[in-house]
Structure 1
Amino acid sequence: MSYWFLCGKGKVFGFSCGLRRGFNYQQTFSLVNVKLKWVKDKALDAVIAGERDLRAACNLVSILSSAPDFCLPIYHLSRHRGQLGLPHDHKLSTFIRRYPTIFHESYVFDSAGTLVPCFELTLEALNLYHEELGVIRDNMIDLIDRLCKLLMLTKDRILPLQTIDQLKWDLGLPYFYIDNLIPNYADLFSLFRLPDDRIGLKLLSWDDTLAVSQLEKNVAQQTEEDLKNNCLAFPIGFTRGFGLKRKCMGWLEEWQKLPYTSPYADASHLDPRTDVSEKRIVGVFHELFHLTIQKKTERKNGSL
């Protein structure tokens, strides 16, 4: 049971054109809204649907592994339902019973004397969970770096725990990362109460060695001229059946030639209404996807 990723599709709209004159670029106000036909990728949709069940099962394994005797009654498991990602009309006990090789069912009496279902991990699931813990330990540095870079993408290096919880599966973080991981790195992270009374996780210090985006690392994919002018272009591929009209492709090609602003750089000087600023926003999403294990996440997780 490893925490490797479930996610959805990300779409970027609003390709625009910019003006290029030698090494001088203008922050032009030529944003163009392009209506694109929504094209389904049935193969990818099937993978996503299967990963939703995988995510829920893995999270349940983590919850049960922290319980005495690796067993909990259904009403205790229901308290974690919001973190499982199951549809609201799915009964939790019905979902668990679909996987008898992972969960063994028995019955216990609750405080009112009512017999209720109780679930525990099978021996096979427990062995697999211990194997997963070994994988996490072996990749701990990488996990910490991903979390640091995620916080470095934000203005104040801080995010609500609620937001990180939505991404923890994608980032490969353990289910109980707040209790089992963060306390071991008190020199890097600290919990803060936010103005809206939510709890946030803050990165205490900036690491310049981590402030290099994936696009900047992939210099082999860029032309010598683009590297010289810092006009890095995003790699683009289209789903089968999806395409852009020639006019839209022209906009995209010009937009790709705009200066690239690293998602880790101070962008306060950029006018948010311009094409250059728009490209910087796309760069933030591009970097976010590359921080995830499978380079994808659900659309709802895109608002950091």
Structure 2
Amino acid sequence: MLFHSHSISSRFKASRNSTAIRVWIQFTASISSLKVVWRRDRKLDQAIENDKAWRQCAKVVKEVFNEPGEVIPLRYLEKRRERLRLPIKIQTFLSRNPGLFDVYYDRIKPNTEPVKFLKLSDRLQRLLVEEQRIYLENEPLLVAKLCKLLMMSKDNVVNADKLLHVKREFGFPNDFLENLVPKYPEYFKLNGSPGEGNSFLELVSWNPKFARSVIEQRADEESELTGIKINPSFNWKLPPGFLIRKEMREWIRDWMELPYISPYEDASNLNQASQEMEKRTVGVFHELLSLSLYKRIPVPILGKFTEEYRFSNAFSSVFTRHSGIFYLSLKGGIKTAILREAYKEDELINRDPLLQINDNFISLLAEGHKLRVEQLNLKKQAVQNSTTPNTGYPIVMQMK
């Protein structure tokens, strides 16, 4: 591999370049002291805030969907509000989001009084059917993502339960281990039973076409376009108003000049405290965020994969140390790593095809909100029509 045949000492002896010497001394002696003051990026925080409402609705839908028969008594759902972190009563939630559920009366037990039940609306059911079509249409993308996650990991093996925890971040369907993985025995082997804590997904064969990172693909495209060999490198740019100290700027400049290390390279021989490992770690985070749906992942979720991807215990400092590549949001009291280059203000630049599933759900919510506004306007108009324009008193009182 690229760096396996060159130790740090041999690189040091091979080059008497003062810049290389300074980089190595800085890295080993003061990497822990290189601090970047965290500053809020309001646009990227807003990107997280934009998703807050629909994610809450999706959580309630999932709760009903997972019930036997996909129905639930309204009062049962009301008791789960605290767990769902829903700040309003279920009845209020239903009135604010019409079109998600149908309300009907049924008996919980044969001899009891009928109570309100909720079931998924017909429109929501059609959306779920469309969701399956989108998954099937994008199955090659799902396979590629899953292969890439395994190819970056140590020994090309990842705990299956951990993969279940990140299915939402990468757009995998709920049943991908049961239905997607068995369809591709040439790529995947599932060992053990998911849910028992000792199940692992293993890569069976290495596909070279999957072993090209977003950074490398971008360099290839630029090289083809310009006819000039372009070396893979990170985009490093701070938004207006963000400043870092002079010594940190110099360190970043020298660090950026180091050769790019693909996250698909074998890193078993790299020293955890070496400059190469820092470069490789940033590359892994960049690739993971690039593969995610929204180009952002909560830091606690990334922390679950410390062993698989050889992250250090203090891995989250990478996001502030390289603040021109990443942004560490604190929105909602949760640290979230965001890929800066993926956003223009609070909007994604290149959208993952699997986001069509979420877009359809958001459109359904928007239709319901529009219907609610129309109903409120009709009620308001009815009240206005029942009063005289001059006195404001009801017509019946004017007659008296």
> TM-score scaled to structure 2, two decimals?
0.58
* Per-residue deviation, 1:233: 2.5
Q: Residue 175 and residue 197 in structure 1: after superposition, are their counterparts in 2 closer, same or farther (change >3 A)?
A: closer
Q: Find the counterpart in structure 2 of residue 54 from structure 1.
A: 54
Q: Residue 216 and residue 138 in structure 1: after superposition, are their counterparts in 2 closer, same or farther (change >3 A)?
A: same
Is the contact between residue 77 and residue 90 of structure 2 (CA under 8 Å) also seen in structure 1? no
Is the contact between residue 187 and residue 204 of structure 1 (CA under 8 Å) also seen in structure 2? yes
Counterpart secondary structure, 1:191 = strand
Q: 2-side partners of 1:271 and 1:137: how far apart?
A: 42
Q: 2-side partners of 1:177 and 1:301: how far apart?
A: 19
* Per-residue deviation, 1:288: 0.5
Q: Find the counterpart in structure 2 of residue 149 from structure 1.
A: 148
Q: Residue 161 and residue 63 in structure 1: after superposition, are their counterparts in 2 closer, same or farther (change >3 A)?
A: farther
Are 1:131 and 2:130 an aligned pair?
A: yes
Q: Find the counterpart in structure 2 of residue 259 from structure 1.
A: 259
Q: 2-side partners of 1:109 and 1:25: how far apart?
A: 76
Q: Which runs of 5+ in 2 are unaligned?
A: 1-10, 306-400
* Per-residue deviation, 1:145: 0.5
Identical pairs, percent: 28
| Backbone CA RMSD of aligned residues | 3.9
Equivalent of 1:104 in 102, 105, 127: 102
Are 1:245 and 2:245 an aligned pair?
A: yes
Q: 2-side partners of 1:76 and 1:191: how far apart?
A: 37
Q: Find the counterpart in structure 1 of residue 33 from structure 2.
A: 33
Summarize the alignment of residues 109-258 of structure 1 with structure 2, pairs less than 5 Å apart. Answer: 109-110=107-108, 118-193=117-192, 197-219=197-219, 227=231, 232-258=232-258
Letter in 1 for 2:259: P
Letter in 2 for 1:208: P
Letter in 1 for 2:286: H
Q: 2-side partners of 1:126 and 1:207: how far apart?
A: 37
Q: Residue 178 and residue 251 in structure 1: after superposition, are their counterparts in 2 closer, same or farther (change >3 A)?
A: same
Q: 1-side partners of 2:97 and 2:200: how far apart?
A: 35
Is the contact between residue 103 and residue 121 of structure 1 (CA under 8 Å) also seen in structure 2? yes
Counterpart secondary structure, 1:218 = helix
Does 1 or 2 have the higher relative contact order (CA < 8 Å, sep 6+)?
1
Q: 1-side partners of 2:156 and 2:236: how far apart?
A: 29
Q: Residue 37 and residue 263 in structure 1: after superposition, are their counterparts in 2 closer, same or farther (change >3 A)?
A: same
- Greater displacement, 173-182 / 282-291: 173-182
Q: 2-side partners of 1:180 and 1:60: how far apart?
A: 25
Counterpart secondary structure, 1:297 = strand
Q: Find the counterpart in structure 2 of residue 295 from structure 1.
A: 295
Q: Residue 207 and residue 239 in structure 1: after superposition, are their counterparts in 2 closer, same or farther (change >3 A)?
A: same
Q: 2-side partners of 1:111 and 1:65: how far apart?
A: 21
- Greater displacement, 272-281 / 37-46: 37-46
Letter in 2 for 1:172: G
Q: 2-side partners of 1:77 and 1:176: how far apart?
A: 24
Larger Rg over CA atoms: 2
Letter in 2 for 1:132: E
Is the contact between residue 222 and residue 230 of structure 2 (CA under 8 Å) also seen in structure 1? no
Q: Which runs of 5+ in 1 are unaligned?
A: 1-17
* Per-residue deviation, 1:32: 4.6
Q: 1-side partners of 2:215 and 2:148: how far apart?
A: 14
Q: Find the counterpart in structure 2 of residue 274 from structure 1.
A: 274
* Per-residue deviation, 1:153: 1.3
* Per-residue deviation, 1:297: 1.4
Deviations 1:191-226 (A, max 9, x none): 2249x9432322222222211111111115689687
Counterpart secondary structure, 2:191 = strand
* Per-residue deviation, 1:58: 3.7
* Per-residue deviation, 1:109: 4.5
